[in-house]
Structure formats: structure tokens, C-alpha cells
Amino acid sequence: MSASAATGEFGEGGHPRVEIVRGDGASLFAADGRRYVDLGASHGVGNLGACRPEVVRAIQEQAARLIHLGSGYANPVREAFVGRLLSLLPRSFGRVFLSNSGTEAVEATIKLARSATGRPRVVAARRGFHGRTYGALSATWRRELREPFEPLVPEFAHVPFNDPAALDAAVDERTALVLLEPVQGEGGVHVASAEFLRAARAAADRTGALLGFDEVQSGLGRTGRNFAFEHTQVVPDLLALAKSLAGGVPVGATVTTPEVEARFRGSHHSTFGGNPLACAAGLAALDVLVRERLAERAERLGRLAAPRLAALPKEKLREVRGLGLMWGVELRERAAPVLAALERRGFLAIPAGSTVVRLLPPLVIDEDDWDRGLTAVAEAVADG
């Protein structure tokens, strides 16, 4: 257990945590050598697992060549990374703004949309999570995340998720952006219906608003497709990515079309955005994603999970939801004791809100570890 002053969180910690010192694929190791299976991919970052050798090598080689370069200079690694990312996306996309995190990718999405349309309003969804900087937080739904920091950015509205009529009614000629997660992650793993995403596309087209998908968590193979929007063929105008994009190195990307970028007025910039180190890691990570067909693997392993999770005891369970390797097990009671029981069995999962156990294993997880993980979830739910 660790007691530390240094953390990436303020206000949410407080409980003792297992101290992890090393990782290898889906395995995380404590200082005493105990192995844990990571069923949370370190909050969705580790789609390729920890310390993927190709990513490690790319970081080492790039670090020796050039770690940082101002965005005013061209760089072949940055070009290659951006080109590789665009090659995975529909042809309509052609421009990428690089940053360092999910919240920055969303922030750029909001700024780009407001500037390109000259309109103020953003329509997002209830239960949505988009990050913690002011713009992204204003699009985020959970009151306890928002209230201590008010006043937030004006002109943000939230509609019920998967309610096409409510969404259609909320989008008007003052709307710059409709911002949605195709699969809501932090909000408890809720999968958008094709009908809802189609309604969002239609409402944006009807009013001249832009459609933005936040795939910071659902993107890059996680749901059984390279991008979750591919399940429905609804293509957005703006796409926010981060988390696993560079195999564990911080990076964010806001992808858009040349037409939208051409309408952008003003400037937006990040000192570290597009640094060669992150781009080299990103290029290596995308190569692995494609070469190993990790999206297909996520779909296959996800199919194994569906019946196992659905068979959890009814008296404990409210609902099981998921797609690919992104699952939410909503309990009738708090998730914390189940997470603790899992940890005692050597499996690290994460919550989504107070009653949902979230499973986001690395897409490279051993089939045997995944099978044992699902058994451990069943035991932990029964005990918890």
C-alpha cells in the first residue's frame, strides 16, 4: 500500500491502493512481486497492455534522436503518425490537431466547432463524461464533478442519452456542436443506439451544427471496431481521441475535415502537442493495433464475456452492458466491495460511478487471464 503526496487525482482518493511498480501486457506487478491482471487497462490507456515492446523501442529510439520539437517545424515522425491515424478513418477526415490528453482533445473539439460555426451552443448527453478542464467539464454531466467549479462555460445543454426526439428538439440554429460518446464510459458503459447517433447526424445536418464524437475511451479497437462509430456508419465531423493512442504515452488528437478546418477562425495551440516522442510511440501503437487486428480480437473476447456476465446472480445485478472489451456490470449495491474482492483475487478492475464495475481489459489480454477474470468477477459479485 502506498501513502503519497503525488497523485493524478485530487479529491477522489482516500482509500489505500496497491502499489504497482512494473507492467507487462495485461500483468501489473506489485513491489513484492505479486502479479495482478489488469482488467481496467489503467483507465483505458493500456489497449496494447503495459510496456508493449514495439512502443518501448520506438520511445527509446526517438528519445535518443529528438524528444521535443516546436509545432512550427515539420517532422517526419509527426507526419507519419498523423498519416497512419488518418488512414484508419473515413476519407472525409483530413486534419488532425495533436495535444496531450483526452480533455484537451475535447477542448479543441469545442473551440473548433464554436469558431467554425460562429455559434455558441453545445448539446451533450446526460451521463456523458468529456474531461475536467472548463469546456470539457461543461459538457460533462455529473453534478458533483461540476458544482464545486461553477460557474462553468455558458450555453451547454444535456439531453437524455438514447432519446432521439429529445436530441432533435434540443439542436437548433444556435447550436455549434452536438457532442456524444458512442459508448459512454465513465457514465456506466452505455452503448448509443444506431437510431440515436443517426438522429444526431440528422439534427446537425438540418441546422448546420457540427457532430463531434468523443472516442477518448471507446476508440482504437476497444469496442470491436477501430472506432465505435463504425458500428453504426454514422460519421462525425469531429473526433476526439486520446488514452491508448500512443500506447501509454500522453497524447490527444482532434480529427476533423479540411472543410471544417477551413472555417476555423482564431488560433489554438499546444506547446507539447505533436512532440516527436509521443508521435513515435503513437505510430508504433497504431501499427500494432492494425497488424494484430486487435479490434477483431476485442470483438471475439467480448463475445465470450456476454453470456458469462449475463449469468451473474439476478439478486445482485441490475444490468450488464457492453460492446467488444468495454463492459459495465451495474450492481444493486455499491461496486467498491466487489472491486476490493477482485483485488484480493489478483484482478484490478475499475468503477464507473458508485454501482458499476467496469471491465476494460487490455485488448491483448491472454484468453486464459480473461476467462479467469470473468470467473473472479462472478465470485466477487457473489461475495461482495
Nearer to ligand PLP, 180 or 235 (CB): 180
Nearer to ligand PLP, 164 or 250 (CB): 250
All cell numbers assigned to 170: 434540443
Q: Does 130 bind ligand PLP (CB under 6 A)?
A: yes
Residues 311-330 that bind ligand PLP (CB under 6 A): none
- Strand spans (E) along 86-214: 95-99, 121-125, 156-159, 175-180, 183-184, 190-191, 210-214
- Binder among 185, 248, 282, 384 for ligand PLP (CB under 6 A): 185
What is the CB-side half-sphere exposure of residue 146 using CA atoms within 13 A? 19
Q: Does 42 bind ligand PLP (CB under 6 A)?
A: no
Task: Give the bridge partners for 121, in sequence order.
Answer: 175
Q: Is 165 exposed, middle or buried (0-12, 13-18, 19+ CB in 10 A)?
A: exposed
CB 244 within 8 A of CB 46: yes
Q: Does 369 bind ligand PLP (CB under 6 A)?
A: no
CB 248 within 8 A of CB 216: no
Q: Could you tell me the end-to-end alpha-carbon distance of the chain, in angstroms, rounded to an integer?
A: 21
The CB-nearest residue to ligand PLP is 102
Q: Does 182 bind ligand PLP (CB under 6 A)?
A: no
CB 96 within 8 A of CB 246: no
Q: How far is the CB of 43 from ligand PLP (least distance, A)?
A: 6
Q: How far is the CB of 345 from ligand PLP (least distance, A)?
A: 25
Q: How far is the CB of 270 from ligand PLP (least distance, A)?
A: 13
Cα-flanking dihedrals φ and ψ of residue 346, to 5°?
A: 95, 20
Nearer to ligand PLP, 207 or 223 (CB): 223
Give a three-class secondary structure readout of 185-202: CCCCCEECCHHHHHHHHH
The interface mask with ligand PLP, positions 256-295, x = CB under 6 A, is ----------------------------------------
Q: Does 106 bind ligand PLP (CB under 6 A)?
A: yes
Binding residues (CB under 6 A) for ligand PLP: these are: 101-103, 106, 129-131, 181, 185-186, 214, 216-217, 242
